[in-house]
Amino acid sequence: MSISESDLDRVLKLSHLHIPDSEKADYVAQLDKVLGHMDNINQLNLDDLEPSAWANATATPARKDVVVKAELDLETNAPEWVDHSFRVPSILGKET
């Protein structure tokens, strides 16, 4: 399976990632090569196999639902902090 520049544009939109147009051809070429290598999994017979999301399929331990005060110091790392809130650009704003 190969990847085209329109595939790349679709994925960039899904992943909220900006890449300059001048770099797109390089990304397409590299990803095409990587995906080509991955095609070797199609040679395997996987009919009787269940998918594994984790190596150790043990039950997830539960813990009591108790509120623990966390000092996350949000202000220190916030790009813009106003009135105890994160400030962001407007959703509509200008056209890009």
Partner 1 sequence: MADALSLAKSLKNREVTSVSLVEQAYQAIAETDGDIKAYLTLTKESAMAQAQSIDKRLDQGEELPLLAGIPIGIKDNILLKGFKTTCASKMLENFVAPYDATVIEKINAQGLIPVGKLNMDEFAMGSSTQFSAFQVTRNPRNLDYVPGGSSGGSAATVSANQVPLSLGSDTGGSIRQPASFCGIVGLKPTYGRVSRYGLVSFASSLDQIGPMATTVGGAAALLNVISGFDSKDSTSEQVEVPDFTQAIGQSVSGKRIGVPKVLMGDAVDPQIRKAIDATLADLVAKGATWEVVDFGCMDEALSVYYILAPAEASSNLERYDGVRYGHRKPDAANLNDMYTRTRGEGFGPEVKRRIILGTYVLSSGYYDAYYLKAQKVRSLVIKAYQKAFESVDVILSPTVPSLPFKLGENLEDPIAMYLQDIATIPANLAGLPAISVPCGTSSEGLPIGVQITGKAFDEMTVLSVADAIHVKETL
Backbone phi and psi for residue 85, each to the nearest 5 degrees, phi listed first = -140, 155
Q: Does 65 bind partner 1 (CB under 8 A)?
A: no
Q: Check residue 6 and give left, alpha or beta (phi > 0: left; psi -120 to 50: alpha).
A: alpha
Radius of gyration of the chain (CA): 22
3 and 35 Cβ atoms separated by less than 8 Å: yes
Q: Does 49 bind partner 1 (CB under 8 A)?
A: yes
| Interface with partner 1 in residues 66-95 (CB under 8 A) | 70-74, 76-80, 86, 88-95
Q: Does 55 bind partner 1 (CB under 8 A)?
A: yes
Return residues touching partner 1 (CB under 8 A): 1, 3, 7-8, 10-12, 14-19, 27, 30-31, 33-35, 37-44, 46, 49-56, 58, 60-61, 63, 70-74, 76-80, 86, 88-96
